[in-house]
Chains A and B, each alone.
Chain A
Amino acid sequence: MSRFRWMTLPVVAAALLMSLAGTAQAQTAPDVDSLRQARQAAEMRDRQRLLTLLDDQKALESALADAREAHARASRQDAALRIEEAVRALSAARLESRRSDQDDRLAGLLSALARHSSEVRNALGDDSWLTLGDTPLPPRLDDAEVLEQRHLEDVVDSLAALTRATGQATAMTLPVVEPGGDVRKREVVRLGDFAAFTPDALLARSGAGESPALEPDTPKEVSRWLADYASGEDRTLAVDPTRGSVLEALTQRPTLGQRFHQGGYVGYVVVTLGALGLLAAALQYAYLLLVSARVRRQRRAPDTLRSNNPLGRVLLRFARLDKAQPPEALEARLDEAVLAELPRLERGQPLVKLLAAIAPLLGLLGTVTGMIVTFQAITVFGTGDPQLMAGGISQALVTTVLGLVTAVPLLFAQTALSSRSRALIQLIEGQASAALATHLEAQSPEGAAEGGHDPAPHLA
Chain B
Amino acid sequence: MSEAGTQGKDLGLLLCNVCHKVNSAHLSHCCRCGEAISERDYSSLHKSWALLLTAAILLIPANIYPITTLVNQGVVTQDTIFSGIKHLVDSDMLPIAIIVFTASILVPWLKIIGLAIYLTAISFHLPIPKRLLMGGFHIIEWIGRWSMLDLFVISLTVALVNMGQLLDAKPAPAATAFALVILLTQLAAKVLDTRLLWDRLELEHDAN
Question: Do A and B belong to a common assembly?
Answer: no
Query: What residues make up the interface of B, taking CB atoms closer than 8 Å to A?
Result: none
Query: What residues make up the interface of A, taking CB atoms closer than 8 Å to B?
Result: none
